[in-house]
A and B are shown apart, each in its own frame.
Chain A
Amino acid sequence: MQVNETFKPTVVAFCCNWCSYAGADLAGTNRLQYPADVKIIRIPCSCRLNPLFILRAFQRGADGVILCGCHPGDCHYTTGNYYARRRMTLLFSMLDYLGIERERTRVEWVSAAEGAKFAETMNDFVETVTRLGENRRLEDLRCKSE
């Protein structure tokens, strides 16, 4: 795979309102560095993430999509993230089955106290997506022409 040195990926991070969004906030207040290419979208619970959102993020130019939610067992709504876990596992498996790079999608559990983990996760994910290069297999060319 060709690695483009200047390639800056667009990464969409869907963050649960209760844990991961607060974790991102903490990362910010602690001045932990993570790439500005990460666009955070706050959702009420990781379980709110409709698979359509992920596909539409790719359509609109995302090169990688990550979902962050409360750790299993810690969901604000008790069990939301358990359902999200099954859904995302199956969806990612399906994307992989269609030949879409399996590294472009990820789920990480990040609590409100884990600012450092949030920054680390984003650094790692952006690095992975940068290595993969531009999203080609799930792109909508209409949205890429300027």
Chain B
Amino acid sequence: MQERIKAKAIELLESGVCGRVLGWKTGEFFYDVTPAVFESREEIERDFVFGPFCGANLSKYLIAESRKGGKVGAFLKPCDTYSFQQLQKEHRILPENVYAVGVQCGGMCDIDAIRAAGIKGVLDVEEQGDSLLVHTLYGDKSLDRAAALSERCRVCKSKKILGCAELIGEQGEEQPSARFEQVAELEAMTPEERFAFWRGELSRCIRCNACRNVCPACSCEKCVFDNPSSGAENKAPANSFEENLFHIIRAFHVAGRCTDCGECSRVCPQHIPLHLLNRKFIKDINELYGPYQAGADMDAKPPLVNFQADDPEPSVVRERGTNP
């Protein structure tokens, strides 16, 4: 796969289709891959990498890249293409300046998942069918490939590649996903349990803004939380209220636009399961206003700028619960 992508990248540059291509650059280790712009065959041959640790969603970079002039090539995984389409829909990416190549994805691994399995000093990983052989400073360890996957890939919703000029690998399909199970588990808890759960998670927040800055849906030029004139400037998690405020408003602001790419949870240095907030909105939207997948359809009206005369009343929230 990597060789086909690199060959395509070189072809795009040398045929003049694109002046530069957006991909992933190898790092110090096997897993610390950085999104990068490549402008020459040499750079691509030396540094371009595509593998199970290329989790970063490149679509957000296209907002800036598509405005720099000239055409930029981009390699997008299926879930990246949902963001790509959503951003075009919001007129954030200028599609005429992007040549998107879809690359099929077998699920991305997460070094933190490997570390969370108790494996220390990871030096290299070999894929051996359904399992991974992990070379470490302390000898070789074996791990199920599934256990090393990002959470979002374990519950992958779609392998479908959208809106790309060409594909590398097979076109895939939407697939059944268990991604709302955790949300449902939380919904089944008592409010006290839910409150305790979220305090436990959100109290770890250090307000580094990684979730916001990586999020393809968070593309405001100036965030309300950074603006001293907004009345809601909020720089530090001074107390539980401010932790809640930031995450509620951020999730709300991307509601109906969030494609559930899972980048927020991937980048959180404090491992807060932020996707559970976004998925709650997605689940509610699906249940209350009909199934909707942001980014899937260029023409569908986003649920929060749409309505039906017979939409449920807000009291549905009070009524549906059994807990007082």
Contact = CB atoms under 8 A, between A and B. Distances in A.
Complex contact flag A–B (Cβ < 8 Å): yes
Contacts of B289: 86
Given A83-B305, A99-B195, A91 B311 contact: no
B313 A107 contact: yes
A56 B232 contact: yes
A82 B289 CA distance: 13
Contact of B318 (A82, A87, A102): A102
Interface residues of A, number: 39
The residue among B196, B309, B318 with the most chain A CB atoms within 10 A of its own CB is B318
A124 interface: no
Contacts of B305: 83
Interface in B171-211: 186-187, 191-199
A72 B321 contact: no
A142 B238 contact: yes
B317 A85 contact: no
A82 to B, nearest CB: 4
A2 to B, nearest CB: 14
B145 interface: no
B138 interface: no
A42 interface: no
A7 to B, nearest CB: 18
Nearest to A98: B198
A99 B194 contact: yes
Interface in B204-240: 224, 231-232, 238-239
Contacts of A96: 191, 317, 321
A93 B285 CA distance: 11
Contact of B249 (A52, A82, A85): A52
A73 B314 contact: no
B245 A89 contact: no
Given A82-B311, A96-B321, A98-B248, A90 B281 contact: yes
Interface string B234-262: 00001101101100110110010000000
A138 B199 CA distance: 11
Contact of A94 (B191, B245, B277, B288): B277
A112 to B, nearest CB: 20
A93 B284 contact: yes
The residue among A86, A87, A91, A95 with the most chain B CB atoms within 10 A of its own CB is A86
B304 interface: yes
A63 to B, nearest CB: 14
The residue among A59, A89, A140 with the most chain B CB atoms within 10 A of its own CB is A89
Contacts of A91: 248, 252
Given A86-B303, A96-B321, A101 B281 contact: no
A78 to B, nearest CB: 11
A3 to B, nearest CB: 13
A99 B198 contact: yes
A127 interface: no
Contacts of B309: 72-73, 82
B264 to A, nearest CB: 15
A88 interface: yes
A59 B285 CA distance: 27
B307 interface: yes
Nearest to B193: A99
Given A99-B193, A99-B198, A94 B280 contact: yes
Interface string B291-310: 00000000000011111110
A79 interface: yes
15 contacts: A85-B307, A86-B304, A89-B313, A90-B284, A92-B314, A92-B318, A93-B284, A97-B277, A98-B248, A99-B195, A100-B191, A101-B191, A103-B318, A103-B324, A107-B313
Given A82-B307, A137-B195, A141-B239, 16 more contacts: A51-B249, A55-B244, A79-B307, A85-B307, A86-B303, A86-B304, A90-B304, A91-B252, A97-B186, A99-B191, A99-B193, A99-B197, A103-B324, A105-B314, A106-B315, A107-B313
Interface of B: 186-187, 191-199, 224, 231-232, 238-239, 241-242, 244-245, 248-249, 251-252, 255, 277, 280-281, 284-285, 288-289, 303-309, 311-318, 321, 324
